[in-house]
Structure 1
């Protein structure tokens, strides 16, 4: 079902708060055990209010995955810009991505389900 999604500065702030709460909840109890109602409860709002900013739970998942991928891309670009040999860069990248993933997603990630 397509719902209108709010935009603007205040909406961006609300979306960021929702994503932060969802991401924290995913880390704490896991992606599959988190509902929109759980995210809303963390923020003291109704699930209907969440849907004013995201058309679906899947849209929340996609936004979190996008943020994670952007973080990994920034790390990769920083490593690529170093003067280290290619093999060393690859080793650094794999190590950092592994540690980043474990820190961000101690439980199953919404990006892999």
Structure 2
């Protein structure tokens, strides 16, 4: 199904829509099997137009990887902001991270594979995530 990107509304919205479609494809068939042409076709645009918003295919991969990696950081931050005692927060955190990782392995394996590749290949998004303390 083609969903046109309206570039007049701003490059931020176009970038967000490109990432949304890319993530849908990554989750469904994996990042290795998703091409820029697949993403462009879904959006009703040319591959060249995708490169107006992302300097490379690697930039798309890193952006999607960053979203996945930040899911756990967001979970941890939400738990940290609660008024629960520290031991309860730790219990919640360990349970939530375990649940998230189990879900990634069972239901979102292509996204898990993306993060594994990013870690093994030492992508900048992973280096930045590690250096931020997460």
TM range, smaller chain: 0.7 to 0.9
Distance 1:67 1:56, change over 3 A: same
The answer as to whether partners of 2:72 and 2:97 remain within 8 angstroms in 1 is: no
Deviating beyond 6 angstroms after TM superposition, the runs of 4 or more aligned structure 1 residues are none
Q: What are the ranges of 5 or more consecutive residues in structure 1 without an aligned counterpart?
A: 1-8
Q: How far apart, in 2, do the equivalents of 1:90 and 1:72 lie?
A: 9
Q: CA RMSD in A?
A: 2.4
2:64 matches 1:48: no
Q: Distance in 1 between matches of 2:106 and 2:21?
A: 16
Gap regions ≥5 residues in structure 2? 1-8, 118-134
Contact 1:26 1:109 in 2 (8 A): no
For 1:55, what is the secondary structure of its paired residue? coil
Count of residues in Structure 1 that have an aligned counterpart in Structure 2: 106
Distance 1:92 1:81, change over 3 A: farther
- In the alignment, what sits opposite 1:111? 115
Question: 2:35 & 2:92 partners in 1: Cα distance?
Answer: 39
TM-score (norm 2): 0.67
| Contact 1:36–1:47 (Cα < 8 Å) also in 2 | yes
For residues 63 and 99 of structure 1, the distance between their equivalents in structure 2, rounded to whole angstroms, comes to: 22
Deviation sequence 1:38-96 (CA, Å, 0-9, x none): 11111111100000000101000111112222222110112233425165134223224
TM-score by length of 1: 0.77
Q: Describe the shift of the 1:87–1:17 C-alpha distance in structure 2 as closer, same or farther (beyond 3 A).
A: closer
Match of 1:11 in 2: 11
Structure having greater relative contact order (Cα 8 Å, sep ≥ 6): 1
Taking the aligned partners of 1:103 and 1:10, their CA distance within structure 2 comes to: 37
Relative to its length, the structure with more helix (as a share) is 2
Asked if residue 91 in structure 1 is aligned to residue 98 in structure 2, the reply is no
